[in-house]
Amino acid sequence: MSLIIAGRFQTFRAAESAAQKLFAQGFVEEDVTLFFVNPSGQHARFPVGGDVGTDPGASGAPKGAGKGVTIGAVIGAVVGAAIFAVFHAPLLVSAIAAGVGAYVGSLAGAMSHTKKPKTAAQAEEPARHAGVLVAVHVSPESQDQAATALREAGGMDIERASGRWKQGRWSDFDPSQPPHPVGEFAQTRA
């Protein structure tokens, strides 16, 4: 595994300028790469898109739908029976009312058991922000120099990572994993 220092920039121009500063400090081209990181949820990890197979907030929806079907069917049947008794409607109306009640109940039950997504402030780990990432393959001795150069060039979210560096690029970069901030450079800017 290789030691990697990376920083996020808002534009390719700013990232290229940071790379030039790294080259001026003695880093070589095969140890510096830059690439764009899409916003969270837009990394197409699955054939239909997205970063996760299922939404964690929807895990309780099937249970809620089951409860809703039962409650809705009972309420629908009662309403259908009342319509049957008051208006002398055909028995089919009672069955349709029970079915409609079950359907509406399943929707209401599923929705009542979904959770709101956590805000960024509530998240357990900080999300990776979109932008142009400048990654530098470093040694333990040069990591502070690279982190300082990236910060001075306007880099945000300066991070340290352990990964595979092949043919001049960070080959196993995973955009869905949160960054691991470098101590003194942990604070972020817009």
> What span, in angstroms and rounded, lies between the C-alpha atoms of 55 and 96?
33
User: Domains plus CATH for the chain?
Assistant: 2-52+130-185 (3.30.70.260), 56-112 (no CATH)
The string of DSSP letters for 167-185 reads TTEETT--TTSPP-B-GGG
From the number of C-beta atoms within 10 Å of its C-beta (0-12, 13-18, 19+), residue 152 rates as exposed
Give the distance between the most distant pair of CA atoms in the chain.
91
Reading the chain (190 residues) residue by residue, the pLDDT tens digits are 899 999 999 999 999 999 999 999 999 999 999 999 888 766 555 565 655 666 667 778 888 888 888 898 889 888 888 888 888 888 888 788 888 988 998 889 888 888 766 554 444 445 788 899 999 999 999 999 999 999 999 999 999 999 999 999 999 998 878 889 987 654 444 4
> What span, in angstroms and rounded, lies between the C-alpha atoms of 175 and 50?
12
C-alpha 89, offset from chain centre: 52
Q: What's the pLDDT tens digit per position in 114-169?
A: 876 655 444 444 578 889 999 999 999 999 999 999 999 999 999 999 999 999 99
Q: Measure the CA angle with vertex 120, ends 108 and 50; round to 5°.
A: 65
